[in-house]
């Protein structure tokens, strides 16, 4: 066989293998129906009281479905100054929010990239983490509110809402114990502890006694509330708008969503708590589903060998958040990295490197390939995929041939498409469970979304729409769903929580 023939042969085999991998990433209409049914089942069981002896979040077949203790929706007329702290996937944000009472707000914001050692080092203690958060809060206060900072004994309290975007067993609006870390943290001594107490203690040690954390919330709940505030939800009928905010969700480093459930259905809340709430006129409570943990047993989730490897070999929480590991920004690049390494092992790609050891260091480093790189590859239409070539060189120091790049682009598109298709499952399931598409006049609903993937990944929202039309709500249901980007959810949402506290 001539060199050219051999080359052609390898290219054809590579293309065939890639097609068969892409095939494993497709989510069919039948699969969507099956997954949506199972999602509704898992939500229902998650609302039931925990089986005896079980702790929240350890059972794989039910969704955590965490009561948030937030029982109302803002309508845009709320007012006041609040502080908000937000520990999420990659950043710790401190902000002050002035709610102007007319659906608008003014925000002062300081974003801190979480230092690597807090994420990677297993020996880091809770105290070190929360001391860091308190220090950064002090820096914020000194910069934006110097008179309050220099007067720590002043009388007036500054109310703070704490957005803590990890699974928490919430015990009241202002307390909750960490069930487990997700999205990279691995500090074992935080588990089981009340994160509000840990943070408040460190704020006091830092001399920030005037700051009082009055509400603990999840980023999805914040997104939902801030979306309601911005859209003036309860006034919407008066303004001629007939759509209703129903879901708050995040598609970023992680993924999760919340919605309002009838208090009567939240059987896991002690009966006296339910009765008291209902007696005081409350009918609904926001539930943080923690849908990242949907189907941790992989009974129905589409699963490839790469998903198994990432979960078992590379993630910090093996066996948990398996839905998230197929969807969110933290994992999209890692899926591609695993596939490329596998294709190389099978002699189909990057043959200039004779062995695994010779591969560029960055390609061998878990989680080195970011979803941002995939977003460039996704839409590259340059000749010979030059953009892709540069992106891979820059991010992984990885030289590629045009044929390899063509295959890598196919893989990227299959990975992102599966992610977007899977996002339609919880959305459809919640809309069906709450019967939202058949309520009110036209049954139009709003889904407030936040997170880097839904906001910036090219074509992601349009793929979500395709998937919603294929899901059990069908094209008629899909037309009633308005996906809206809710910016600054965790800041404004935490302020709104602090306000009701
Ligand atoms: C992870 C967390 C969840 C959070 C989501 C989005 O899934 O467990 O609490 O809402 O990421 O940030």
Position 57 scores a pLDDT of 64
**For ligand 1, atom 1, which residue shows the shortest CA distance?**
254
d(CA 105, CA 241): 22
pLDDT at 236 over 50: no
Position 151 scores a pLDDT of 84
Mutational pocket test of ligand 1: of 218, 224, 253, 294, the residue with most ligand atoms within 8 Å of the beta carbon: 218
Lowest mean pLDDT among 49-53, 433-437, 454-458: 49-53
Task: Tell me the average pLDDT across 185-214.
Answer: 95
Tell me the percentage of the chain whose pLDDT exceeds 90: 81
Residue 49 is classified by DSSP as: P
Q: Is 291 exposed, middle or buried (0-12, 13-18, 19+ CB in 10 A)?
A: buried
Mutational pocket test of ligand 1: of 250, 449, 455, the residue with most ligand atoms within 8 Å of the beta carbon: 250
d(CA 217, CA 233): 20
**For ligand 1, atom 2, which residue shows the shortest CA distance?**
166
Distance 468 CA to ligand 1 centre (A): 22
Q: What is the chain's mean pLDDT, rounded?
A: 93
**For ligand 1, atom 4, which residue shows the shortest CA distance?**
165
Q: Categorize the per-residue pLDDT at 226 as very low, low, confident or very high, splitting at 50, 70 and 90.
A: very high
Q: How do beta strands 211-217 and 158-164 pair?
A: parallel
d(CA 287, CA 284): 9
Largest CA distance in the chain: 86
Q: Categorize the per-residue pLDDT at 154 as very low, low, confident or very high, splitting at 50, 70 and 90.
A: confident
Q: Which atom of ligand 1 is nearest to the CA of 166?
A: 9
Position 119 scores a pLDDT of 84
pLDDT at 239 over 60: no
d(CA 501, CA 497): 6
Closest CA to 433 of 301, 290, 289: 289
Task: Tell me the average pLDDT across 123-140.
Answer: 95
Q: Which atom of ligand 1 is nearest to the CA of 291?
A: 7
Distance 171 CA to ligand 1 centre (A): 18
Distance 235 CA to ligand 1 centre (A): 30
Q: Which atom of ligand 1 is nearest to the CA of 250?
A: 6
Distance 73 CA to ligand 1 centre (A): 21
Mutational pocket test of ligand 1: of 89, 219, 252, 286, the residue with most ligand atoms within 8 Å of the beta carbon: 219
d(CA 268, CA 48): 5
Q: Which residues are catalytic?
A: 165, 180, 219
Tokens standing for 110? 């300081």
Task: Tell me the average pLDDT across 19-41.
Answer: 98
**For ligand 1, atom 8, which residue shows the shortest CA distance?**
166
Distance 381 CA to ligand 1 centre (A): 34
d(CA 271, CA 102): 37
Position 238 scores a pLDDT of 43
pLDDT digits 0-9 by tens, 262-318: 999 999 999 999 999 999 999 999 999 999 999 999 999 999 999 999 999 999 899
Mutational pocket test of ligand 1: of 191, 252, 254, the residue with most ligand atoms within 8 Å of the beta carbon: 254
pLDDT at 469 over 70: yes
Distance 165 CA to ligand 1 centre (A): 5
HEC assignment per residue over 159-221: EEEEEECCCEEEEECCEEEECCCCCCCCCHHHECCEHHHHHHHHHHHCCCCCEEEEEEECHHH
**For ligand 1, atom 9, which residue shows the shortest CA distance?**
166
Set out the domains of the chain in order of their start, with CATH numbers.
Answer: 37-52+61-67+231-297+424-487 (3.40.367.20)
Q: Which atom of ligand 1 is nearest to the CA of 292?
A: 7
Output the ligand 1 site: residues, CB below 6 A.
88-89, 165-167, 182-183, 218-220, 250, 252, 254-256, 290, 292, 321, 324
């Amino acid at each position: 066989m001539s060199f050219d023939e051999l080359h052609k042969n390898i290219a054809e085999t590579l293309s065939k293998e890639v097609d068969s991998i892409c095939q494993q990433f497709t989510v069919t209409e039948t699969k969507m129906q099956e997954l949506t049914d199972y999602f509704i089942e898992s939500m229902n069981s998650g609302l039931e009281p925990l089986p005896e002896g079980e702790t929240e979040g350890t059972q794989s077949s039910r969704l955590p479905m965490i009561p948030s203790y937030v029982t109302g929706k803002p309508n845009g007329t709320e007012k006041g100054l609040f502080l908000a702290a937000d520990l999420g996937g990659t950043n710790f944000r401190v902000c002050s929010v002035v709610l102007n009472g007319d659906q608008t707000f003014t925000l002062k914001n300081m974003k801190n990239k979480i230092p690597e050692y807090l994420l990677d080092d297993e020996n880091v203690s809770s105290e070190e983490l929360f001391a860091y958060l308190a220090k950064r809060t002090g820096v914020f206060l000194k910069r934006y509110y110097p008179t309050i900072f220099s007067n720590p004994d002043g009388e007036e309290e500054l109310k703070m809402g704490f957005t803590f975007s990890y699974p928490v067993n919430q015990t009241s609006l202002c307390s909750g114990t960490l069930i487990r870390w997700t999205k990279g943290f691995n500090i074992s001594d935080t588990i089981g502890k009340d994160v509000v107490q840990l943070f408040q203690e460190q704020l006091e040690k830092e001399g920030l006694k005037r700051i009082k954390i009055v509400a603990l919330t999840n980023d999805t709940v914040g997104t939902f509330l801030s979306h309601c505030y911005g859209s003036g939800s309860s006034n919407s009928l008066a303004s001629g708008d007939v759509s209703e905010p129903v879901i708050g969700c995040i598609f970023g480093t992680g993924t999760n969503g919340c919605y309002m459930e009838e208090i009567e259905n939240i059987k896991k809340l002690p009966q006296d708590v339910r009765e008291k709430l209902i007696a005081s006129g409350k009918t609904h409570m926001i539930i943080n589903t923690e849908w990242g943990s949907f189907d941790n047993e992989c009974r129905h989730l589409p699963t490839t060998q790469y998903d198994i490897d990432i979960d078992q070999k590379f993630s910090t929480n093996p066996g948990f958040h398996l839905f998230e590991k197929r969807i969110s920004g933290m994992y999209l690049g890692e899926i591609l990295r695993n596939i490329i390494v596998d294709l190389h092992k099978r002699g189909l790609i990057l043959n200039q490197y004779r062995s695994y050891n010779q591969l560029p260091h960055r390609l061998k480093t878990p989680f080195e390939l970011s979803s941002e790189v995939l977003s460039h590859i996704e839409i590259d239409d340059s000749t010979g995929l030059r953009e892709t070539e540069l992106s891979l060189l820059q991010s992984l120091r990885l030289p590629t041939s045009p044929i390899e790049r063509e295959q890598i682009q196919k893989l990227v598109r299959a990975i992102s498409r599966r992610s977007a298709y899977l996002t339609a499952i919880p959305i459809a399931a919640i809309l069906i469970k709450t019967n939202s598409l058949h309520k009110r006049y036209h049954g139009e609903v709003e889904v407030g979304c936040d997170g880097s993937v839904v906001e910036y990944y090219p074509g992601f929202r349009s793929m979500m729409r395709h998937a919603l039309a294929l899901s059990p709500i069908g094209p008629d249901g899909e037309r009633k769903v308005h996906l809206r980007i809710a910016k600054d959810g965790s800041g404004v949402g935490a302020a709104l929580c602090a306000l009701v506290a």
